[in-house]
Structure 1
Protein backbone atom coordinates (compact mmCIF):
# COMPACT_ATOMS: atom_id res chain seq x y z
CA UNK A 1 0.00 0.00 0.00
CA UNK A 2 1.46 3.36 -1.01
CA UNK A 3 0.56 6.91 -0.03
CA UNK A 4 -0.05 8.50 -3.40
CA UNK A 5 -0.01 12.20 -4.20
CA UNK A 6 -3.70 12.96 -3.58
CA UNK A 7 -4.98 10.10 -1.46
CA UNK A 8 -4.04 6.69 -0.14
CA UNK A 9 -4.42 4.16 -2.93
CA UNK A 10 -2.58 0.97 -3.87
CA UNK A 11 0.32 1.71 -6.21
CA UNK A 12 2.56 -0.70 -8.09
CA UNK A 13 5.54 1.52 -8.65
CA UNK A 14 8.29 -0.84 -9.55
CA UNK A 15 8.38 -4.18 -11.29
CA UNK A 16 10.14 -6.92 -9.31
CA UNK A 17 13.89 -6.97 -9.79
CA UNK A 18 14.24 -3.31 -10.88
CA UNK A 19 16.48 -2.00 -9.33
CA UNK A 20 17.06 27.40 8.52
CA UNK A 21 17.74 30.76 8.67
CA UNK A 22 21.35 30.86 9.71
CA UNK A 23 21.51 34.55 10.52
CA UNK A 24 22.31 34.10 14.23
CA UNK A 25 24.88 31.90 15.88
CA UNK A 26 24.06 29.45 18.63
CA UNK A 27 24.40 30.59 22.22
CA UNK A 28 23.67 29.27 25.68
CA UNK A 29 20.54 30.60 27.32
CA UNK A 30 20.53 31.03 31.09
CA UNK A 31 16.86 30.02 31.35
CA UNK A 32 17.43 26.41 30.34
CA UNK A 33 21.23 25.98 30.12
CA UNK A 34 20.69 24.51 26.65
CA UNK A 35 21.86 25.55 23.20
CA UNK A 36 19.42 27.71 21.31
CA UNK A 37 18.67 26.94 17.68
CA UNK A 38 19.85 29.35 15.02
CA UNK A 39 17.42 32.08 14.13
CA UNK A 40 16.01 32.53 17.63
CA UNK A 41 15.45 36.12 18.75
CA UNK A 42 17.95 37.37 21.38
CA UNK A 43 15.42 37.64 24.17
CA UNK A 44 16.65 36.27 27.55
CA UNK A 45 13.86 34.03 28.89
CA UNK A 46 11.22 35.67 26.73
CA UNK A 47 9.07 36.75 29.67
CA UNK A 48 6.46 38.83 27.88
CA UNK A 49 3.07 38.45 29.53
CA UNK A 50 -0.04 38.59 27.35
CA UNK A 51 -2.59 40.92 28.91
CA UNK A 52 -5.31 40.86 26.24
CA UNK A 53 -8.12 38.81 27.81
CA UNK A 54 -9.88 38.46 24.46
CA UNK A 55 -6.81 36.81 22.92
CA UNK A 56 -6.36 34.51 25.91
CA UNK A 57 -9.97 33.37 25.61
CA UNK A 58 -9.53 32.89 21.86
CA UNK A 59 -6.53 30.60 22.45
CA UNK A 60 -8.54 28.37 24.77
CA UNK A 61 -11.49 28.34 22.36
CA UNK A 62 -9.36 27.41 19.34
CA UNK A 63 -7.76 24.59 21.33
CA UNK A 64 -11.28 23.24 21.99
CA UNK A 65 -10.51 22.83 25.67
CA UNK A 66 -13.19 20.94 27.60
CA UNK A 67 -13.72 19.25 30.96
CA UNK A 68 -12.33 15.97 29.66
CA UNK A 69 -8.97 17.54 28.74
CA UNK A 70 -5.63 17.64 30.53
CA UNK A 71 -3.98 20.90 29.48
CA UNK A 72 -0.27 21.65 29.67
CA UNK A 73 0.68 25.34 29.90
CA UNK A 74 4.35 26.13 29.33
CA UNK A 75 5.68 29.34 30.87
CA UNK A 76 2.60 30.22 32.88
CA UNK A 77 4.00 33.58 34.01
CA UNK A 78 1.55 35.54 36.18
CA UNK A 79 -1.37 33.24 35.44
CA UNK A 80 -3.55 35.27 33.07
CA UNK A 81 -3.98 32.25 30.78
CA UNK A 82 -3.84 29.74 33.63
CA UNK A 83 -7.05 31.04 35.21
CA UNK A 84 -8.92 30.91 31.89
CA UNK A 85 -7.77 27.32 31.45
CA UNK A 86 -8.78 26.49 35.01
CA UNK A 87 -12.35 27.46 34.21
CA UNK A 88 -12.56 25.31 31.06
CA UNK A 89 -10.28 22.27 31.45
CA UNK A 90 -10.57 19.10 33.49
CA UNK A 91 -6.94 19.37 34.66
CA UNK A 92 -4.31 22.08 34.18
CA UNK A 93 -0.56 21.54 34.52
CA UNK A 94 0.98 25.03 34.62
CA UNK A 95 4.78 25.03 34.32
CA UNK A 96 6.86 28.03 35.45
CA UNK A 97 10.59 28.34 36.15
CA UNK A 98 10.70 31.71 37.90
CA UNK A 99 10.28 31.19 41.67
CA UNK A 100 8.67 34.60 42.23
CA UNK A 101 6.11 33.94 39.52
CA UNK A 102 5.39 30.50 40.98
CA UNK A 103 4.32 32.23 44.20
CA UNK A 104 2.00 34.55 42.29
CA UNK A 105 0.56 31.61 40.35
CA UNK A 106 -0.22 29.63 43.48
CA UNK A 107 -2.08 32.57 44.99
CA UNK A 108 -4.00 33.33 41.83
CA UNK A 109 -5.07 29.72 41.23
CA UNK A 110 -5.79 28.78 44.85
CA UNK A 111 -9.52 28.44 44.12
CA UNK A 112 -8.93 26.10 41.16
CA UNK A 113 -8.69 22.56 42.51
CA UNK A 114 -8.01 21.25 38.99
CA UNK A 115 -4.82 23.30 38.57
CA UNK A 116 -1.33 22.13 39.51
CA UNK A 117 1.59 24.58 39.50
CA UNK A 118 4.89 22.94 38.52
CA UNK A 119 8.07 24.82 39.44
CA UNK A 120 10.48 23.41 36.86
CA UNK A 121 12.52 24.12 33.75
CA UNK A 122 10.21 23.37 30.82
CA UNK A 123 12.78 21.38 28.87
CA UNK A 124 13.55 19.06 31.80
CA UNK A 125 9.88 18.21 32.33
CA UNK A 126 8.43 14.82 31.43
CA UNK A 127 5.43 15.02 29.14
CA UNK A 128 2.15 13.72 30.61
CA UNK A 129 1.59 10.00 30.11
CA UNK A 130 -2.08 10.51 29.29
CA UNK A 131 -3.52 12.33 26.28
CA UNK A 132 -3.07 16.07 26.62
CA UNK A 133 -3.51 19.47 24.99
CA UNK A 134 -0.96 22.31 24.98
CA UNK A 135 -2.12 25.94 25.31
CA UNK A 136 0.76 28.32 25.93
CA UNK A 137 2.40 31.66 25.35
CA UNK A 138 5.89 30.20 25.27
CA UNK A 139 9.23 31.92 26.04
CA UNK A 140 10.61 33.25 22.77
CA UNK A 141 14.21 32.32 23.50
CA UNK A 142 13.49 28.59 23.62
CA UNK A 143 10.80 28.37 20.94
CA UNK A 144 12.55 25.78 18.76
CA UNK A 145 13.71 23.58 21.68
CA UNK A 146 10.13 23.54 23.01
CA UNK A 147 8.70 22.55 19.63
CA UNK A 148 11.26 19.74 19.32
CA UNK A 149 10.48 18.57 22.85
CA UNK A 150 6.77 18.45 22.05
CA UNK A 151 6.85 16.99 18.52
CA UNK A 152 10.02 14.90 18.17
CA UNK A 153 8.34 11.76 19.50
CA UNK A 154 4.97 11.32 17.76
CA UNK A 155 4.01 8.40 20.01
CA UNK A 156 3.39 10.79 22.94
CA UNK A 157 -0.10 11.75 24.12
CA UNK A 158 -0.11 15.20 22.50
CA UNK A 159 -3.44 15.62 20.69
CA UNK A 160 -3.56 19.29 19.74
CA UNK A 161 -2.39 22.70 20.85
CA UNK A 162 -2.50 26.45 20.45
CA UNK A 163 0.84 28.16 20.96
CA UNK A 164 1.73 31.85 20.78
CA UNK A 165 5.33 32.30 19.64
CA UNK A 166 7.64 34.72 17.87
CA UNK A 167 6.20 35.50 14.42
CA UNK A 168 9.30 34.60 12.44
CA UNK A 169 9.44 31.15 14.03
CA UNK A 170 5.72 30.65 13.33
CA UNK A 171 6.30 31.43 9.65
CA UNK A 172 9.16 28.95 9.43
CA UNK A 173 7.20 26.14 11.05
CA UNK A 174 4.22 26.65 8.73
CA UNK A 175 5.91 27.60 5.44
CA UNK A 176 4.77 25.79 2.30
CA UNK A 177 8.34 25.03 1.26
CA UNK A 178 9.99 22.90 3.93
CA UNK A 179 13.74 23.35 4.32
CA UNK A 180 14.07 21.96 7.83
CA UNK A 181 14.34 18.23 8.51
CA UNK A 182 12.64 18.39 11.90
CA UNK A 183 9.69 20.46 10.69
CA UNK A 184 9.06 18.03 7.84
CA UNK A 185 9.16 15.08 10.22
CA UNK A 186 6.67 16.78 12.56
CA UNK A 187 4.26 17.35 9.69
CA UNK A 188 4.03 13.65 8.91
CA UNK A 189 2.11 13.22 12.17
CA UNK A 190 0.83 16.71 12.99
CA UNK A 191 -0.88 19.51 11.08
CA UNK A 192 0.81 22.82 11.96
CA UNK A 193 -1.18 25.89 10.90
CA UNK A 194 -0.53 29.63 11.15
CA UNK A 195 -3.66 31.17 12.69
CA UNK A 196 -2.98 34.90 13.02
CA UNK A 197 -0.36 37.52 13.79
CA UNK A 198 -0.40 39.22 17.19
CA UNK A 199 0.94 42.72 17.77
CA UNK A 200 3.65 43.23 20.38
CA UNK A 201 1.33 45.78 22.00
CA UNK A 202 -0.65 42.89 23.54
CA UNK A 203 2.24 42.01 25.87
CA UNK A 204 3.83 43.49 28.94
CA UNK A 205 6.64 44.30 28.62
CA UNK A 206 6.27 44.46 24.82
CA UNK A 207 8.80 42.29 22.96
CA UNK A 208 10.98 43.64 20.15
CA UNK A 209 9.11 41.56 17.55
CA UNK A 210 5.52 40.60 16.82
CA UNK A 211 4.06 37.23 17.71
CA UNK A 212 1.73 34.75 16.05
CA UNK A 213 -0.76 32.10 17.07
CA UNK A 214 -0.06 28.58 15.77
CA UNK A 215 -2.47 25.64 15.86
CA UNK A 216 -1.19 22.06 16.10
CA UNK A 217 -3.41 19.03 15.57
CA UNK A 218 -2.53 15.34 15.46
CA UNK A 219 -3.44 13.89 12.06
CA UNK A 220 -6.29 11.39 12.13
CA UNK A 221 -4.52 9.47 9.38
CA UNK A 222 -0.76 10.06 9.79
CA UNK A 223 1.47 9.66 6.78
CA UNK A 224 3.52 6.94 8.50
CA UNK A 225 3.39 4.67 11.57
CA UNK A 226 5.19 6.13 14.60
CA UNK A 227 7.63 3.20 14.56
CA UNK A 228 9.09 4.57 11.31
CA UNK A 229 10.05 7.96 12.75
CA UNK A 230 13.79 7.28 13.01
CA UNK A 231 13.99 5.76 9.51
CA UNK A 232 12.08 8.71 8.07
CA UNK A 233 14.43 11.17 9.79
CA UNK A 234 17.35 9.41 8.12
CA UNK A 235 15.73 9.74 4.70
CA UNK A 236 14.86 13.43 4.94
CA UNK A 237 18.17 14.40 6.54
CA UNK A 238 19.86 12.84 3.51
CA UNK A 239 17.45 14.27 0.93
CA UNK A 240 17.11 17.83 2.27
CA UNK A 241 20.79 18.71 2.32
CA UNK A 242 19.99 21.00 -0.62
CA UNK A 243 16.24 21.81 -0.56
CA UNK A 244 16.44 23.40 -4.02
CA UNK A 245 18.04 20.35 -5.59
CA UNK A 246 15.99 18.28 -8.01
CA UNK A 247 14.39 15.04 -6.85
CA UNK A 248 16.83 13.05 -9.00
CA UNK A 249 19.84 14.78 -7.41
CA UNK A 250 18.51 14.59 -3.86
CA UNK A 251 17.54 10.91 -3.96
CA UNK A 252 20.39 9.61 -6.08
CA UNK A 253 22.21 6.96 -4.09
CA UNK A 254 18.97 5.56 -2.70
CA UNK A 255 16.93 4.85 -5.83
CA UNK A 256 18.00 3.65 -9.27
CA UNK A 257 17.23 5.77 -12.33
CA UNK A 258 14.24 3.57 -13.36
CA UNK A 259 12.90 3.71 -9.82
CA UNK A 260 13.23 7.50 -9.73
CA UNK A 261 11.29 7.76 -12.98
CA UNK A 262 8.41 5.73 -11.60
CA UNK A 263 8.55 7.55 -8.28
CA UNK A 264 8.17 10.97 -9.94
CA UNK A 265 5.19 9.67 -11.89
CA UNK A 266 3.57 8.36 -8.70
CA UNK A 267 3.89 11.68 -6.84
CA UNK A 268 3.09 13.86 -9.84
CA UNK A 269 6.48 15.59 -9.91
CA UNK A 270 8.66 16.64 -12.82
CA UNK A 271 12.41 16.41 -13.26
CA UNK A 272 12.70 20.08 -12.25
CA UNK A 273 10.67 19.84 -9.03
CA UNK A 274 12.86 20.82 -6.04
CA UNK A 275 12.92 18.22 -3.28
CA UNK A 276 11.95 20.92 -0.77
CA UNK A 277 8.62 21.48 -2.55
CA UNK A 278 7.26 17.99 -1.86
CA UNK A 279 4.18 17.79 0.37
CA UNK A 280 3.76 15.34 3.24
CA UNK A 281 1.71 12.87 1.21
CA UNK A 282 4.38 12.84 -1.49
CA UNK A 283 7.04 12.16 1.14
CA UNK A 284 4.88 9.27 2.28
CA UNK A 285 5.17 7.77 -1.21
CA UNK A 286 8.94 8.31 -1.23
CA UNK A 287 9.42 6.68 2.16
CA UNK A 288 7.18 3.69 1.47
CA UNK A 289 8.88 3.17 -1.90
CA UNK A 290 12.26 3.13 -0.18
CA UNK A 291 11.19 0.63 2.49
CA UNK A 292 9.60 -1.73 -0.04
CA UNK A 293 11.97 -1.58 -3.00
CA UNK A 294 15.38 -0.53 -1.66
CA UNK A 295 17.71 -2.79 0.27
CA UNK A 296 17.86 -1.79 3.94
CA UNK A 297 21.63 -1.40 3.73
CA UNK A 298 21.06 1.52 1.32
CA UNK A 299 18.66 3.39 3.60
CA UNK A 300 20.24 6.62 4.91
CA UNK A 301 20.85 6.65 8.66
CA UNK A 302 20.44 9.56 11.04
CA UNK A 303 23.73 11.33 11.71
CA UNK A 304 25.15 10.94 15.21
CA UNK A 305 24.62 14.61 16.05
CA UNK A 306 20.92 14.49 15.12
CA UNK A 307 20.42 11.18 16.92
CA UNK A 308 21.78 12.73 20.12
CA UNK A 309 19.46 15.75 19.78
CA UNK A 310 16.49 13.54 18.94
CA UNK A 311 16.91 11.29 21.96
Structure 2
Protein backbone atom coordinates (compact mmCIF):
# COMPACT_ATOMS: atom_id res chain seq x y z
CA UNK A 1 0.00 0.00 0.00
CA UNK A 2 1.14 3.52 -0.66
CA UNK A 3 -0.14 7.02 -1.21
CA UNK A 4 0.95 9.97 -3.36
CA UNK A 5 1.08 13.57 -2.14
CA UNK A 6 -1.63 14.81 -4.50
CA UNK A 7 -3.93 12.11 -3.07
CA UNK A 8 -3.11 13.30 0.45
CA UNK A 9 -4.27 16.83 -0.31
CA UNK A 10 -7.49 15.59 -1.90
CA UNK A 11 -8.36 13.23 0.94
CA UNK A 12 -7.55 15.76 3.66
CA UNK A 13 -9.96 18.24 2.07
CA UNK A 14 -12.75 15.65 2.47
CA UNK A 15 -11.94 15.27 6.14
CA UNK A 16 -10.48 11.79 5.67
CA UNK A 17 -7.13 10.72 7.12
CA UNK A 18 -4.35 11.03 4.52
CA UNK A 19 -2.50 7.78 5.20
CA UNK A 20 -5.00 5.03 4.62
CA UNK A 21 -6.35 5.39 1.10
CA UNK A 22 -4.66 5.07 -2.28
CA UNK A 23 -3.77 1.50 -1.34
CA UNK A 24 -1.83 -0.96 -3.47
CA UNK A 25 -3.31 -4.44 -3.35
CA UNK A 26 -1.43 -7.70 -3.87
CA UNK A 27 -3.07 -9.53 -6.77
CA UNK A 28 -0.66 -12.48 -6.96
CA UNK A 29 -2.48 -15.44 -5.34
CA UNK A 30 0.69 -17.51 -5.00
CA UNK A 31 2.32 -14.65 -3.08
CA UNK A 32 -0.72 -14.26 -0.80
CA UNK A 33 -0.54 -17.96 0.13
CA UNK A 34 3.23 -17.73 0.63
CA UNK A 35 2.77 -14.87 3.12
CA UNK A 36 0.30 -16.93 5.17
CA UNK A 37 2.47 -20.06 4.91
CA UNK A 38 5.55 -18.22 6.17
CA UNK A 39 3.55 -16.90 9.12
CA UNK A 40 2.72 -20.52 9.96
CA UNK A 41 -0.90 -19.60 10.69
CA UNK A 42 -2.97 -22.31 12.41
CA UNK A 43 -6.45 -22.79 13.83
CA UNK A 44 -5.20 -21.88 17.30
CA UNK A 45 -4.00 -18.41 16.21
CA UNK A 46 -5.50 -14.94 16.48
CA UNK A 47 -4.23 -12.91 13.51
CA UNK A 48 -4.19 -9.13 13.23
CA UNK A 49 -4.27 -7.74 9.68
CA UNK A 50 -3.56 -4.02 9.35
CA UNK A 51 -4.92 -2.34 6.22
CA UNK A 52 -7.08 -5.19 4.94
CA UNK A 53 -8.21 -3.34 1.80
CA UNK A 54 -10.57 -5.46 -0.29
CA UNK A 55 -9.72 -8.67 1.54
CA UNK A 56 -7.35 -10.56 -0.76
CA UNK A 57 -5.15 -11.53 2.21
CA UNK A 58 -8.06 -11.66 4.69
CA UNK A 59 -9.81 -14.42 2.74
CA UNK A 60 -6.65 -16.56 2.81
CA UNK A 61 -6.08 -15.92 6.51
CA UNK A 62 -9.60 -16.83 7.61
CA UNK A 63 -9.27 -20.25 6.00
CA UNK A 64 -6.40 -21.04 8.35
CA UNK A 65 -6.68 -18.94 11.53
CA UNK A 66 -8.87 -19.35 14.57
CA UNK A 67 -9.67 -15.62 14.58
CA UNK A 68 -8.88 -12.79 12.14
CA UNK A 69 -9.04 -9.11 13.15
CA UNK A 70 -9.02 -7.22 9.86
CA UNK A 71 -8.48 -3.46 10.32
CA UNK A 72 -9.54 -1.10 7.53
CA UNK A 73 -10.47 2.61 7.56
CA UNK A 74 -11.94 3.17 4.07
CA UNK A 75 -15.72 2.69 4.35
CA UNK A 76 -16.13 1.32 0.83
CA UNK A 77 -13.50 -1.33 1.48
CA UNK A 78 -15.11 -2.15 4.83
CA UNK A 79 -18.38 -2.91 2.99
CA UNK A 80 -16.54 -5.20 0.57
CA UNK A 81 -14.76 -6.94 3.45
CA UNK A 82 -18.02 -7.53 5.31
CA UNK A 83 -19.62 -9.08 2.21
CA UNK A 84 -16.60 -11.29 1.49
CA UNK A 85 -16.35 -12.56 5.07
CA UNK A 86 -20.07 -12.84 5.88
CA UNK A 87 -19.87 -16.64 5.95
CA UNK A 88 -16.80 -16.64 8.21
CA UNK A 89 -17.74 -15.99 11.85
CA UNK A 90 -14.03 -16.17 12.78
CA UNK A 91 -13.43 -12.83 11.00
CA UNK A 92 -14.03 -9.47 12.66
CA UNK A 93 -13.86 -6.38 10.45
CA UNK A 94 -12.54 -3.43 12.47
CA UNK A 95 -13.52 -0.11 10.82
CA UNK A 96 -10.89 2.16 12.37
CA UNK A 97 -7.74 4.24 11.92
CA UNK A 98 -4.84 1.77 12.21
CA UNK A 99 -2.94 4.03 14.58
CA UNK A 100 -5.87 4.25 17.00
CA UNK A 101 -6.54 0.54 17.49
CA UNK A 102 -5.72 -1.34 20.66
CA UNK A 103 -3.61 -4.41 20.17
CA UNK A 104 -5.25 -7.71 21.20
CA UNK A 105 -4.74 -8.60 24.85
CA UNK A 106 -4.28 -12.27 24.03
CA UNK A 107 -1.30 -13.72 22.17
CA UNK A 108 -1.50 -12.86 18.47
CA UNK A 109 0.23 -12.87 15.10
CA UNK A 110 0.39 -9.96 12.68
CA UNK A 111 0.13 -10.68 8.96
CA UNK A 112 -0.24 -7.56 6.85
CA UNK A 113 0.51 -5.60 3.70
CA UNK A 114 0.91 -2.22 5.40
CA UNK A 115 0.64 1.37 4.05
CA UNK A 116 4.04 2.80 3.10
CA UNK A 117 3.16 6.24 4.49
CA UNK A 118 2.94 5.01 8.09
CA UNK A 119 5.35 2.05 8.05
CA UNK A 120 7.53 3.20 10.96
CA UNK A 121 4.60 4.25 13.21
CA UNK A 122 2.96 0.86 12.64
CA UNK A 123 6.18 -0.98 13.51
CA UNK A 124 6.59 1.14 16.64
CA UNK A 125 3.02 0.38 17.65
CA UNK A 126 3.70 -3.35 17.27
CA UNK A 127 7.22 -3.58 18.71
CA UNK A 128 7.85 -0.71 21.15
CA UNK A 129 6.15 -2.53 24.02
CA UNK A 130 7.87 -5.89 24.57
CA UNK A 131 5.17 -7.13 26.95
CA UNK A 132 2.45 -7.02 24.29
CA UNK A 133 0.82 -10.23 23.06
CA UNK A 134 2.67 -10.19 19.72
CA UNK A 135 4.36 -13.53 19.09
CA UNK A 136 5.40 -13.43 15.45
CA UNK A 137 4.39 -12.04 12.10
CA UNK A 138 4.98 -11.51 8.40
CA UNK A 139 4.73 -7.97 7.06
CA UNK A 140 4.98 -6.66 3.49
CA UNK A 141 6.36 -3.14 3.41
CA UNK A 142 8.39 -0.71 1.32
CA UNK A 143 11.78 -2.27 0.54
CA UNK A 144 13.90 0.59 1.91
CA UNK A 145 12.21 0.39 5.31
CA UNK A 146 12.58 -3.40 5.36
CA UNK A 147 16.33 -3.05 4.72
CA UNK A 148 16.68 -0.44 7.46
CA UNK A 149 14.82 -2.50 10.05
CA UNK A 150 16.90 -5.63 9.36
CA UNK A 151 20.36 -4.16 8.65
CA UNK A 152 23.29 -5.47 10.73
CA UNK A 153 24.46 -1.88 11.18
CA UNK A 154 21.87 -0.10 13.35
CA UNK A 155 21.32 3.66 13.14
CA UNK A 156 17.96 4.00 14.90
CA UNK A 157 17.56 3.58 18.66
CA UNK A 158 14.03 2.18 18.40
CA UNK A 159 15.16 -0.49 15.91
CA UNK A 160 17.94 -1.48 18.30
CA UNK A 161 15.46 -1.68 21.18
CA UNK A 162 13.14 -3.94 19.15
CA UNK A 163 16.00 -6.36 18.62
CA UNK A 164 16.46 -6.93 22.32
CA UNK A 165 13.11 -8.76 22.32
CA UNK A 166 12.28 -9.63 18.71
CA UNK A 167 14.13 -11.15 15.76
CA UNK A 168 13.55 -9.27 12.49
CA UNK A 169 14.53 -11.04 9.29
CA UNK A 170 14.48 -9.83 5.69
CA UNK A 171 12.83 -12.63 3.69
CA UNK A 172 12.62 -11.48 0.08
CA UNK A 173 12.09 -8.59 -2.30
CA UNK A 174 8.64 -8.30 -3.88
CA UNK A 175 8.28 -6.69 -7.30
CA UNK A 176 6.00 -3.66 -7.55
CA UNK A 177 4.22 -5.50 -10.38
CA UNK A 178 2.62 -7.93 -7.91
CA UNK A 179 0.45 -5.00 -6.78
CA UNK A 180 -2.50 -3.24 -8.35
CA UNK A 181 -1.94 -0.40 -9.01
CA UNK A 182 1.88 -0.82 -8.92
CA UNK A 183 3.59 1.46 -6.37
CA UNK A 184 6.62 3.52 -7.41
CA UNK A 185 9.08 1.31 -5.53
CA UNK A 186 9.54 -2.38 -4.80
CA UNK A 187 8.39 -3.95 -1.57
CA UNK A 188 9.86 -6.62 0.68
CA UNK A 189 8.66 -9.24 3.12
CA UNK A 190 10.03 -9.37 6.64
CA UNK A 191 9.46 -11.88 9.42
CA UNK A 192 9.14 -10.98 13.09
CA UNK A 193 9.49 -13.50 15.90
CA UNK A 194 9.66 -13.02 19.64
CA UNK A 195 12.99 -14.15 21.10
CA UNK A 196 12.73 -17.17 23.40
CA UNK A 197 15.09 -15.38 25.79
CA UNK A 198 15.18 -11.56 25.69
CA UNK A 199 18.62 -9.95 25.48
CA UNK A 200 17.47 -7.35 28.03
CA UNK A 201 14.72 -8.05 30.62
CA UNK A 202 11.28 -6.75 29.60
CA UNK A 203 11.08 -4.64 32.76
CA UNK A 204 14.13 -2.68 31.60
CA UNK A 205 12.79 -1.72 28.16
CA UNK A 206 12.55 2.01 28.99
CA UNK A 207 16.04 2.06 30.53
CA UNK A 208 17.51 0.28 27.51
CA UNK A 209 15.82 2.71 25.12
CA UNK A 210 17.44 5.58 27.02
CA UNK A 211 20.84 3.93 26.55
CA UNK A 212 20.16 3.30 22.84
CA UNK A 213 19.03 6.89 22.21
CA UNK A 214 22.11 8.27 23.94
CA UNK A 215 24.58 5.91 22.28
CA UNK A 216 23.23 6.14 18.72
CA UNK A 217 23.24 9.92 18.42
CA UNK A 218 26.23 9.33 16.13
CA UNK A 219 25.99 5.70 14.90
CA UNK A 220 29.42 5.82 13.21
CA UNK A 221 31.20 7.20 16.28
CA UNK A 222 33.66 4.84 18.03
CA UNK A 223 32.14 2.98 20.97
CA UNK A 224 34.29 4.82 23.51
CA UNK A 225 33.18 8.24 22.24
CA UNK A 226 29.50 7.22 21.95
CA UNK A 227 29.37 5.92 25.53
CA UNK A 228 31.45 8.69 27.08
CA UNK A 229 29.35 10.36 29.74
CA UNK A 230 27.88 7.08 30.95
CA UNK A 231 31.00 5.11 31.84
CA UNK A 232 34.13 6.29 33.64
CA UNK A 233 37.51 5.57 32.03
CA UNK A 234 38.12 2.44 34.20
CA UNK A 235 34.57 1.19 33.53
CA UNK A 236 35.06 1.75 29.80
CA UNK A 237 38.32 -0.18 29.86
CA UNK A 238 36.57 -3.07 31.59
CA UNK A 239 33.66 -2.95 29.12
CA UNK A 240 35.87 -2.87 26.03
CA UNK A 241 37.84 -5.84 27.30
CA UNK A 242 34.61 -7.82 27.82
CA UNK A 243 33.31 -6.85 24.39
CA UNK A 244 36.59 -7.83 22.70
CA UNK A 245 36.55 -4.56 20.77
CA UNK A 246 39.18 -2.66 18.90
CA UNK A 247 39.37 1.10 19.54
CA UNK A 248 37.63 2.34 16.42
CA UNK A 249 34.64 -0.04 16.41
CA UNK A 250 31.57 2.07 15.43
CA UNK A 251 28.78 1.95 18.01
CA UNK A 252 26.23 1.05 15.30
CA UNK A 253 28.05 -2.18 14.47
CA UNK A 254 27.71 -3.83 17.89
CA UNK A 255 25.84 -7.13 17.91
CA UNK A 256 22.73 -7.79 19.98
CA UNK A 257 24.70 -9.80 22.54
CA UNK A 258 27.29 -6.99 22.82
CA UNK A 259 24.49 -4.52 23.49
CA UNK A 260 23.21 -6.86 26.17
CA UNK A 261 26.67 -6.71 27.75
CA UNK A 262 26.77 -2.91 27.55
CA UNK A 263 23.42 -2.70 29.33
CA UNK A 264 24.43 -5.27 31.94
CA UNK A 265 27.67 -3.39 32.64
CA UNK A 266 25.77 -0.13 33.01
CA UNK A 267 23.30 -1.84 35.37
CA UNK A 268 26.09 -3.24 37.53
CA UNK A 269 28.57 -0.35 37.69
CA UNK A 270 26.75 2.91 36.92
CA UNK A 271 24.51 4.51 39.52
CA UNK A 272 20.90 4.67 38.37
CA UNK A 273 20.60 8.49 38.46
CA UNK A 274 23.41 8.62 35.87
CA UNK A 275 21.62 6.39 33.35
CA UNK A 276 20.42 8.28 30.24
CA UNK A 277 16.64 8.64 30.20
CA UNK A 278 14.48 7.72 27.24
CA UNK A 279 12.93 10.62 25.35
CA UNK A 280 9.38 9.82 24.28
CA UNK A 281 8.28 10.79 20.79
CA UNK A 282 5.65 13.53 20.89
CA UNK A 283 4.14 12.63 17.55
CA UNK A 284 3.27 8.92 17.18
CA UNK A 285 2.91 9.31 13.43
- Could you say which TM-score interval applies, normalised by the shorter chain? over 0.9
Partner of 2:105: helix, strand, or coil?
coil
Is 1:300 paired with 2:276?
yes
4+ runs of 1 displaced by more than 2 Å? Answer: 27-34, 43-46, 306-310
Cα distance in structure 1, aligned partners of 2:225 and 2:112:
41
List gaps (5 residues or longer) in structure 1.
1-26, 35-42
Corresponding residue pairs, total: 274
Two-structure CA RMSD over aligned residues (Å): 1.8
Question: How far does residue 95 in structure 1 lie from its aligned partner after superposition?
Answer: 0.4
* Aligned residue among 179, 183, 195 for 2:155: 179
Task: Tell me the equivalent position of 2:30.
Answer: 54
Cα distance in structure 1, aligned partners of 2:16 and 2:267:
38
Cα distance in structure 2, aligned partners of 1:261 and 1:298:
18
Is 1:283 paired with 2:262?
no
Partner of 2:62: helix, strand, or coil?
helix
Deviation sequence 1:45-64 (CA, Å, 0-9, x none): 45000011111101111111
Cα distance in structure 1, aligned partners of 2:238 and 2:23:
52
Cα distance in structure 2, aligned partners of 1:32 and 1:58:
33
CA separation of 1:300/1:32 partners in 2, compared to 1, >3 Å: closer, same or farther?
A: farther
Partner of 2:229: helix, strand, or coil?
coil
CA separation of 1:271/1:70 partners in 2, compared to 1, >3 Å: closer, same or farther?
A: same
Cα distance in structure 2, aligned partners of 1:45 and 1:110:
23
CA separation of 1:46/1:191 partners in 2, compared to 1, >3 Å: closer, same or farther?
A: farther
TM-score (norm 1): 0.85
Q: Is the 2:49–2:68 Cα contact (8 Å) retained in structure 1? A: yes
* Aligned residue among 241, 246, 253 for 1:265: 241
With a CA cutoff of 8 Å and minimum separation of 6, indicate the structure with the bigger relative contact order. Answer: 1
Q: Is the 2:21–2:74 Cα contact (8 Å) retained in structure 1? A: no
Task: Tell me the equivalent position of 2:3.
Answer: none
Task: Tell me the equivalent position of 1:69.
Answer: 45
Deviation sequence 1:2-32 (CA, Å, 0-9, x none): xxxxxxxxxxxxxxxxxxxxxxxxx999598
Partner of 1:129: helix, strand, or coil?
coil
Cα distance in structure 2, aligned partners of 1:79 and 1:309:
30
List gaps (5 residues or longer) in structure 2.
1-7
Task: Tell me the equivalent position of 2:217.
Answer: 241
Is 1:139 paired with 2:115?
yes
Q: Is the 1:45–1:140 Cα contact (8 Å) retained in structure 2? A: no
Deviation sequence 1:162-188 (CA, Å, 0-9, x none): 000000110110111000011000011
Partner of 1:87: helix, strand, or coil?
coil
* Aligned residue among 213, 225, 229 for 2:201: 225
Deviation sequence 1:78-137 (CA, Å, 0-9, x none): 101001000000000000000000000011111111001010000000000000000000
CA separation of 1:274/1:32 partners in 2, compared to 1, >3 Å: closer, same or farther?
A: farther
Cα distance in structure 1, aligned partners of 2:178 and 2:83:
24
CA separation of 1:309/1:109 partners in 2, compared to 1, >3 Å: closer, same or farther?
A: same
Task: Tell me the equivalent position of 1:165.
Answer: 141
